Each structure stands twice: as C-alpha cells, then as structure tokens.
Chains A and B, each alone.
Chain A
C-alpha cells in the first residue's frame, strides 16, 4: 500500500482527537466524581441508579412518617400515663371516702376531689398536639370527647353509655378501629378501594378504647356506665347521695378498677408500637446506608482507578505528540542534495 503524506496527517490528527477526547472524558470523571454523566454512557448503570434514587426517596418518606408516628405515640404515652396516675389517685381517694365510719362531710370532700379528677381526665382525653386531637381516631379536627345532654361522656358524638355491644356492634367496631395511620413501607395495599390496615401503621389510640363503652346493670338493678368518666361521676354522686351505702360505692369502685385496666393495656400497646417503630427506624437507617453505598458503586468513579487511567492516557497522548513531530517532518527532500 502506498502511504501518502495526507494519509499520515489525517490518521495522526484523528488519533490525536481520540486520545484527547478520552483524556477529556477521564478528566470529567475525576472532576465530577461520577462514572458517567449521561445515561447513554452506561445505560444499565443509569437505570440502576434511577432505581436506587427512587428507593432512597421512598425510604426518606417512610422515615418521615415513622418520625411523625413516633412523636404522636410519645404524646399519647404521656397522656395515658397521666390518665393512669389519675386513676390511681381516684382509687386512693375512694378507699379513703368509702369506709363504714366516714362522715357525710368527709364523703363530700372525696366526691369533690373525684369530680376534679373527672375534669382532668376529660381534659387529658381531649389532648392536642399541633392542633391535632390524638385520641379522636380519624377525627383530628374536632374535640373528640364531649358531654351529652345528660352530662355523660360522648365520643365523636356517640354517648358512650348508650352503646350496646349487640345492637350497636358495627358502630362500636367502627369507632374502635377508626385510627390514624401512615405508610411506613410495609407494602401499602388496597383492599378493594379501602386501605388494607395490615399494610399501614396505625399510630393513634382511639379514645373509646381507653375509657370503655356501654353500661352494666348491677345486682340491685342500677345501671352504670362502663366508661371511666361516667363511673367517676357516679361514684362521686353515690358518695354525696343521701342513700349512700358502702356496698354501692364498693361495687362501683370495683367496676372502675376493671375499666381502668384498659388504660394499662393501652400503655403496653403504645410501648410495643414505639419499640416496633424503633426497629423500623434502625432498619431504614441501615437500608439508607446500603442504598447510598450502592449509589456510590453504581454512579461514582473510583478515584484511584480513574487517576491511574488518566495518567496512562496522558502518557499515550504525549507519546503520540512526540511521535507526530518525527513522522511528519522528514521526507526524501530533507536528504536530497
């Protein structure tokens, strides 16, 4: 094959171009720390990178939800502890007031104290954090606990003492299950058009589960509410009443102890929910770290390797430049006399 001068220069310019564009590519990699700056440079890595970013963003969302649930649970917990303390206090008061020897005045004082506890209970049940009632189930905007026309406790508009476990089964079920929930990455699913509750995290305690509902008929035919608020009121009324009997208050007191057990159960439930959230937080922290590591592996340029590549490319480039000055210069004309 004849090798002409133009062939040599054209090829030489072309290979210099290739060398310097490779050099530029490596330089960009080092400067940006990225293995590729366009998807077409490494399509499979880019698609993987998009997936990782998506997962990272999802994890971020779940973690925000967990933090929200956690703070809400912390609020609920302290309110529940307060209710529990109130119940203990009430029981002590009742023990003091309900003795065979207690005088009318003494009972009256205890009754007043019980009404004050009753009042505090009412307020605690209507606790709010950042304008949200957290014992109201999904009713977060309006005060969940109110008093009905009889002065008895009502939850989300339903008088609790009137709810019959048989007749009002669906209403009670609805109220008990109606809570606030968030998606914390348990695989959010729809059950038909409804949110599948097992795929979300329910973080609020519906107040009805704390205070109890319905009423019980005592042996003597007296009907008593099952809920803590009404019970406290009834005990206070009995203590004050002219027809006070020790037995009556004793029975009511037993009923109160029974109902207040729910508070403890709920406290335990809150505790286990909180520790579950702690576990999930840890899990997502680990996952975030894993994802970030993956991201660096997929998108990042290994600095050591890139710099070594850059250096060897630089050597090739300057070698080509040196060679060029040798190859283009001489021809037979340089040696003709």
Chain B
C-alpha cells in the first residue's frame, strides 16, 4: 500500500531542488565578474524506496521518491590548474628578467643619448687636435676634459648599474620574499585549516576553495610550485583531501615543502659575504633547512636571482652564469681597467722612457685596481694639463708622436683582460675600445630582445591556459539565463504537481461518501 502523503514529500523535494537550482544560478550570475570565482553546480540524485526494509512486502512495481540535493559542487579541472601554474611561474620569470634587463638597458643604451661611445670618439678627436699642436697647453686642457668626461660617464654607468641591482635586491628581499611569499604561504596554510574544519563538519566550502586557488595562483608566479592533495580518512563515510605545496625543481628533482595543511615554511632573502643573494628557508616541517638558492627554477624569484647574482662569463663554475647586473658591472670594470692601462702604459716619462706617469688612477691614486666606479683623472694630470706625454723625444720637442701612439692604441684591436695587469688572465673581449662598448650594448639588447620573445611566448601560452580554465570554470551569462528559464519551468511544474496531489487528497476527504447529496 502506498501511504497517502508519500508523494507530498516527493513534490516538496522537487520544489526545493528547483529552488536550489535557481539559487545557484543566481549565485553564478551574481559572481560573473568575481575574480577567481568557479562556477557552481547543484548535485542532484534521484531517490528510490527500494531496500532491506521492504524485504517482506508484497512484491510489486515501486515508484521513485523524487530527487535529493546532495551538494553544491564546483566545476574545475585540476589538470588545467597544474598547467596554468607551471606556465605562470615561467611567465613571471621572463617578465622579471625582462623588466630588470630593460632597466639595465636604460643605463647602457646609447641610441638616443650621448653615451660612452660618443665620449670616447670625442676624446679621440681631441687627441687628434692635440697632435696638431702638441705643445699647446689649452688644447691639452680640452683633451683632458674629454678624458674626464669618459671617466665620469664610466662612474655614472657603474653607479646606475649598482642602483639597478639594489632595486632588484630590494624588490626580491622586501617585496617578493618578505611580503608576497611569506604572507601567501601563511594565508594558504590558514585557509587549509579552515577548509579542513568545514570539511570535517561535512560542509562544502566552495568560496574558501576559490580564495585558496587565487592565492596558489599568485604563489605560482613567485616560485616554481607543485601542488599535491592527499586523502585523509576522517570517519567511515568521510574522507577529506589535504593540500601540500612544494618548491619543485624539475631538473634537479628536489621537492621542498612550503605548505602542508596548516603548516608553512617562510623564506628569508639576504646578501652573503660575497655580495650574492642567498635565499634560506625556515622550516617548521620537512627536511630542508638553510640555503636553497639553487633550487629555484621558475617564478619571479628565479628571475630576480638571475638578475642579482648572474655573472655571465665572469662566473666561476657552478655559479650563476646568467648575464645579470653583476656581469654588466664587471664588464664595465674590465673596460675601465683596460682603457686606463693602455693609455697609462703609453704615458711614459721621456727622460728615461720607462717611468709610467699615470693619466688615470683610482680614487686613492693607485693604478692596479681601477674600476668603472673609481676611475678618475690622475692628480698629476688634474694639476697640469700637459702631464700627458706628447712626444717621447728627449728632451721633448714639439712633436706629437706619443699622441698618435695613443690614438692608434684606441683605434686598434686590443685584448681586454679580466685583470689587465696579469697577462695570463682570461681575455674577455678582443677589439677596439669602441667595439667593446658596442658589443656590450648589443649583447644587452639581444638579451632584452630574447627575453621579450620568451615573455611574449610564455604569456601567450598562459593566456590560452587562462582561456581554457575560464572556459571550464567561468560563468557564461547566456548559459545561466537559459538555465534560469528551464529551472523556472521545472519549479512551476513541481508546484503544479503539488496542486494535483492536493486536489486528489481534497477529493478523498471532501468528495468521497457523499453519494446523492
């Protein structure tokens, strides 16, 4: 026998299911512009009344008992998330490199400005003028001023390169590591705890998931991460998933945990005694502790590390060989040291032909440790413009042979040694002084161009992945509108069904047994 009011429950459930569908649709529409919102879906299941309890009933056809709202789920693809995050870390790495290298290019670029190359050319021309009237004091003064401009520009380049580096150091240690990274892992760990609490109470914390996903996406732009979930059995019928995030280096294969459920590890960036950037991990769990600088293979941290620590061809084996700020700093130091040496060596006292009368020194007057930052006109030349030896004839006549020697030296190929005083030290460049600078600027421009291309490619792929993810999880208003109309119809139908049941019962109560009345 069928209970009289059985179908009332079915109708009531149908009504509330439609209501839930409409509510979720409304929620989707409301969040059409919410960042990181994942479109939600009502999980429905039909109810049957079959089971053990009816074992001894009279067999016959059984009717289903309608619908049950089992939960509200999210439409999301974890595979797309993983791909998106891997790409985000690559894209962020190139963006960071591009930004830093563009800053460096701003220092060295001489396309629109009168830079070092123009000043060297000018210096050579002033030497030409000096060779016309070598004994003229005022022209020697002009030549000295031109040389001074070369040293001043070198000072500026050195200082600005250092400033770019300091900016990168500040950005990495104070903003990216201290603020962004450390806050993110902490927040993610806190969300993990909250989500765990909700889940153990049997709730579906969709909004918390969205929040956490936004944070994990952000984190993936900072470091190369791998996100894993591990199931945990709470009770017989409840298993929840715990989230673990680690810095994962695909090449080295190392995996350093940074978030595990409610625990998190923070990073600490600082300069070591070698003036190199070191990143250390403060572990509250996991086996790693201390220096993990080499474990980064993506994300903006990797970009910053390359910019700050990269020494290019100056790097010792095992060191960062990216052409970063240190490389360009070393490169102009090499330039300054070699430029000073070639001219100093030519400026010998005509009285004995061997005593070097330095034209360029460092700030303390020495000639062995000249860098772009400390190169200046020697005190002797500063005092007396004719300190520059114009002729090696002794006693000096009015010839300009030594000036031409200098012009020739500046115009001919020379070996730029890492340490110009040591003939065994490696040759960094072979060519004229101007070619050295052209080469350096060209190298930098090519690096910028290359990273621009990398960055473009990476962000195109990232945009495609974003679109794929949006296509999966985003809210389409057309779709929601159609659903809304359909759910309205189903709601109406359920209400009508209720009316039918109501009328049927009404018939029994008020219409039955009134024959002939």
* CB <8 Å contact, A139 and B398: yes
- Chain A 15-46 interface 0/1 with B at a Cβ cutoff of 8 Å (1 = within): 00000000000000000101011111001001
- Chain B 388-407 interface 0/1 with A at a Cβ cutoff of 8 Å (1 = within): 00011100011111001101
Residue in A49, A131, A139 whose CB lies within 8 Å of B111: A49
* CB <8 Å contact, B434 and A54: yes
* CB <8 Å contact, B124 and A188: no
* CB <8 Å contact, A138 and B398: yes
Interface: A219 (CB within 8 A): no
Instruction: Spot the interface stretch: B295-303, B369-377, B466-474.
Output: B466-474
Residue in B399, B452, B470, B472 whose CB lies within 8 Å of A6: B470
* CB <8 Å contact, B391 and A138: yes
28 contacts between A and B (CB under 8 A): A1-B471, A2-B471, A2-B472, A3-B471, A6-B470, A6-B475, A7-B470, A10-B467, A11-B467, A14-B463, A34-B111, A39-B111, A39-B445, A39-B448, A40-B452, A43-B446, A46-B441, A57-B121, A58-B124, A64-B125, A68-B132, A132-B398, A136-B398, A139-B398, A181-B404, A194-B401, A331-B478, A336-B485
Interface: A190 (CB within 8 A): yes
A58 to chain B, nearest CB (A): 7
Interface: B129 (CB within 8 A): yes
Residues of B within 8 A of A299 (CB): 111
* CB <8 Å contact, A53 and B117: yes
Contacts A54-B121, A141-B397: A65 and B132 contacting too (C-beta < 8 A)?
A: yes
Interface: A222 (CB within 8 A): no
Q: How far is the CA of A3 from the CA of B411 in the complex (A)?
A: 63
Range of interface residues on B (Cβ < 8 Å):
35 or more
Q: How far is the CA of A46 from the CA of B112 in the complex (A)?
A: 10
Those of A171-191 within 8 Å (CB) of chain B: 178, 180-183, 188-190
Interface: B408 (CB within 8 A): yes
- Residues on B facing A (Cβ under 8 Å): 32-33, 102, 105, 109-112, 117-118, 121-122, 124-125, 128-129, 131-133, 135-136, 391-393, 397-401, 404-405, 407-408, 411, 434, 437-438, 441-442, 444-446, 448-449, 452, 463, 466-467, 470-472, 474-479, 481-482, 485
B470 to chain A, nearest CB (A): 4
* CB <8 Å contact, A50 and B110: yes
Q: How far is the CA of A50 from the CA of B393 in the complex (A)?
A: 37
Closest 9 CB pairs of A and B: A140-B398, A4-B474, A138-B399, A39-B445, A40-B448, A57-B121, A332-B481, A61-B125, A61-B128
Among residues of B, the one whose C-beta sits closest to the C-beta of A36 is B111
Residue in A6, A36, A50, A64 whose CB lies within 8 Å of B438: A50
Q: How far is the CA of A65 from the CA of B122 in the complex (A)?
A: 14
Residues of A within 8 A of B477 (CB): 5, 331-333
* CB <8 Å contact, A189 and B449: no
Residue in B112, B437, B476 whose CB lies within 8 Å of A3: B476
A76 to chain B, nearest CB (A): 15
A219 to chain B, nearest CB (A): 40
Residues of A within 8 A of B398 (CB): 132, 136, 138-141, 180
* CB <8 Å contact, B405 and A193: yes
Interface: A195 (CB within 8 A): yes
Residue in A1, A34, A39 whose CB lies within 8 Å of B444: A39
Residues of B within 8 A of A49 (CB): 111
Residues of A within 8 A of B485 (CB): 336
